[in-house]
Amino acid sequence: MSIKVRYFASLKETVGKSEDDLPTDAPLSVRAVWQRLNPELNPQGTTLAAVNKAYVDNWDAQVCDGDELAFFPPVTGG
């Protein structure tokens, strides 16, 4: 049982990898997943998260076994 975690764009360089697998036996919040995998990094409130390809507005959203969680840096345009 695990959660597939993916990092995109500059976050991939920041964390030093493009993906993780987090073993779990219970649902976790998006925040808890980040803290378990990257305890030394602060997402600074600007990092975007998506669970199963749907953006979440709140890092308290639950992620369950078999889910895919993706983290993205903020998108800017010009």
Output the tens digit of pLDDT for each of the chain's 78 residues.
Answer: 899 999 999 999 999 999 999 999 999 999 999 999 999 998 867 899 999 999 999 999 999 999 999 999 987 665
pLDDT confidence of residue 26: 94
Of the candidates 33, 38, 25, the residue with the CA atom closest to the CA atom of residue 60: 33
In a domain, 54, yes or no: yes
Q: What SS3 class is residue 60?
A: coil
3-state secondary structure of 24: coil
Q: What is the model's pLDDT at position 77?
A: 61
Q: What is the pLDDT of residue 63?
A: 98
Question: Is the residue at 77 inside a domain?
Answer: no
Tally of CA atoms within 13 A in the half-sphere of 68 that contains its CB: 8
Count Cα neighbours of 28 within 13 Å in the Cβ-side half-sphere.
Answer: 22
Domain that holds residue 23: 2-72
Under a CB-based contact definition with an 8 Å cutoff, are residues 71 and 8 in contact? yes
pTM, full prediction: 0.91
CATH number at residue 30: 3.10.20.30
Total domain count, the chain: 1
